[in-house]
Copies of this chain bind each other. A is one copy, B any other.
Amino acid sequence: MEVASVVLVDIFIMYLAARVAGEIFVRLKQPAVIGELLVGVALGPYALGWIGVPTAGMIELFHGEAVAIEALAAVLEVIAELGVIILLFVVGLETRLSDIMTVGRRAGAVAIAGVVLPFVLGYGFVSVVLGEPTIEAIFIGTALVATSVGITARVLGDLGHIRSDEARIILGAAVIDDIVGMIILAIVSALGEGGTVSLGQIGLIALQAVAFTVFVAVAGRQAARRWSAHLDRLRIRNAPFVVAVLIMLGLAALAAQIGLAAIIGAFLAGMVFAELSEQYELERQALPLYEFLVPLFFVITGSHVDWRLFLDGSVLSVALAVTALAIVGKIVGCGAAAYGLGWRRTAIVGVGMAPRGEVGLIVANVGASLSIIPDAMFSTVVIMSVLTTLVVPPILTLLYRGQPTDADAEAAAGATTGGEMDYAVQDGRLPGM
Q: Which residues of A contact B (CB under 8 A)?
A: 1, 3-5, 7-9, 11-12, 15-16, 19, 22-23, 26-27, 32, 68, 70-75, 77-79, 81-82, 85, 234-238, 241-242, 245-246, 249-250, 252-253, 256-257, 262, 285-289, 291-292, 362, 365-366, 424, 429, 431-433
Contact B291 A242 (CB under 8 A): yes
Q: Which residues of B contact A19 (CB under 8 A)?
A: 236, 242, 246
Q: Which residues of B contact A429 (CB under 8 A)?
A: 237
The answer to whether A262 and B75 touch across the interface, beta carbons within 8 angstroms, is no
Query: Is A32 within 8 A of B292, CB to CB?
Result: no
Interface centre among A75, A77, A287, A288 (most CB of B within 10 A): A288
17 contacts between A and B (CB under 8 A): A1-B362, A4-B74, A5-B257, A8-B253, A9-B253, A11-B82, A11-B253, A12-B250, A12-B253, A70-B70, A70-B71, A71-B75, A74-B75, A78-B78, A237-B429, A238-B291, A238-B431
When distances are taken between beta carbons in the complex, the residues of chain B under 8 Å from A74 are 3-4, 7, 68, 71-72, 74-75
- Closest B-chain residue to A265, C-beta based? B8
Contacts of A245 in B (CB 8 A): 15, 291-292
- The smallest beta-carbon distance between A330 and chain B, in angstroms, is 24
Q: Give the contacting residue for A234; candidates B16, B23, B249, B286; CB below 8 A.
A: B23
Contacts of A235 in B (CB 8 A): 23, 26-27, 433
A430: shortest Cβ distance to chain B, in Å? Answer: 8
Is B291 within 8 A of A241, CB to CB?
yes
The one of B1, B22, B241, B256 in contact with A5, judged by C-beta atoms closer than 8 angstroms, is B256
Known: A12-B250, A235-B433, A237-B429. 19 other contacts (CB 8 A): A3-B78, A4-B77, A4-B78, A5-B262, A7-B74, A7-B78, A8-B81, A8-B85, A9-B257, A11-B82, A11-B249, A32-B236, A72-B74, A236-B433, A237-B291, A237-B431, A241-B291, A286-B288, A288-B288
Report the bound CA distance from A311 to B121 in whole Å. 66
Interface centre among A12, A77, A81 (most CB of B within 10 A): A12
CB distance from A171 to the nearest CB of B (A): 21
- Which residues of the partner chain B approach A9 to less than 8 Å between Cβ atoms? 253, 256-257
A7 to B85, CA, bound (A): 13
